[in-house]
């Protein structure tokens, strides 16, 4: 069965600092991997996705993530955080094809001045 | 429409009442998913439609939960005799292709927050 672990429940960073959110997945085959962001009262917005190919993927809002098969990880990074990045971030894994996603429990990001 | 639309945005129900939550997917999207998001948790899969066919309902927590998509577009999630543990945000997502249809992206609506008193 698929599973996703986001080890950090809550992270606080200063505006302008770099950010890395961790995601580890468990899946027996080649996974499809996603990062979504959820602002309060909003739905999930896709930040980026990995299907195959280049293991470093670029997304919206200056985010990137790196797929490391040997570590079963798909960590999200941003070089310089903006106050508007404060939100809940979810990592998700799907099987090859259009199947239901399995989400982690999320990491809440707070940004301080 | 431009995105996935869900209504109502908020629903308060007394324990034992029936509720109906609506999802209007992106036009032309074949696949439709329902997820339940409890407070402080990630979304969890409930059920999946390909056009009007409900292909997977393995995530529905009890027989009080029922979903339909009769014309392959709008979907309704119905919860009968609501209980306090049903309080959650219910998210709907749609995607362009069929099950096993390749590299698909699920687009989510804003959700319906259900509070059962």
Cβ neighbours of A105 in B, within 8 Å: 40-42
Q: Do B31 and A98 touch (CB under 8 A)?
A: yes
pLDDT over 80 (residue A89): yes
Residues of A in contact with B33 (CB under 8 A): 100-101
> How confident is residue A40, by pLDDT bands cut at 50, 70 and 90?
confident
Q: Is B115 part of the contact surface with chain A (CB cutoff 8 Å)?
A: no
Which of A104, A24, A68, A99 is CA-nearest to residue B55? A99
Q: How many CB atoms lie within 10 A of CB B7?
A: 14
Answer yes or no: are the C-beta atoms of A21 and A74 closer than 8 Å. no
pLDDT by residue for chain B (117 residues), tens only, comes to 589 999 999 999 999 999 999 999 999 999 999 999 999 899 999 999 999 999 999 999 999 999 999 999 999 999 999 999 999 999 999 998 766 656 778 999 999 999 999
Cα–Cα–Cα angle for A32, A36, A38, rounded to 5 degrees = 160
Q: Would you place residue A42 in the very low, low, confident or very high pLDDT band (cuts 50, 70, 90)?
A: confident
The answer to whether the CB of A32 falls within 8 A of the CB of A94 is yes
Give the whole-angstrom CA distance, residue A5 versus residue A91: 8
pLDDT score recorded for residue A62: 96
Query: Are A99 and B41 in contact (CB < 8 Å)?
Result: no
Q: What distance in Å separates the CA atoms of residue B95 and residue B77, rounded to the nearest whole number?
A: 18
Q: Using alpha carbons, select from B35, B47, B51 the residue that is nearest to residue B92.
A: B35
């Amino acid at each position: 069965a698929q599973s996703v672990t986001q080890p950090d429940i809550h992270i606080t960073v200063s505006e302008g600092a770099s950010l890395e959110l961790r995601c580890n997945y468990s899946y027996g085959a080649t996974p499809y991997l996603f990062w979504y962001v959820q602002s309060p009262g909003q739905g999930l917005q896709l930040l980026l996705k990995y299907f195959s190919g280049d293991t470093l993927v670029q997304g919206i809002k200056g985010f990137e993530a790196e797929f490391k098969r040997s570590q079963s990880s798909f960590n999200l990074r941003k070089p310089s955080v903006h106050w508007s990045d404060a939100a809940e971030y979810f990592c998700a894994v799907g099987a090859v094809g259009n199947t239901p996603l399995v989400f982690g429990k999320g990491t809440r990001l707070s940004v301080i001045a | 429409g431009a995105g996935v639309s869900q209504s109502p945005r908020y629903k308060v129900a007394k324990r034992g009442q029936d509720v109906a939550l609506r999802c209007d997917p992106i036009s032309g999207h074949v696949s439709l998913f329902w997820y339940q998001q409890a407070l402080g948790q990630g979304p969890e899969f409930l059920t999946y439609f390909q056009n009007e066919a409900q292909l997977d309902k393995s995530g529905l927590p009890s027989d009080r939960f029922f979903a339909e998509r009769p014309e392959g577009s709008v979907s309704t999630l119905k919860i009968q005799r609501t209980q306090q543990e049903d309080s959650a945000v219910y998210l709907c997502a749609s995607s362009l292709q069929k099950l096993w249809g390749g590299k698909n992206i699920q687009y989510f609506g804003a959700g319906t927050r259900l509070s059962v008193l």
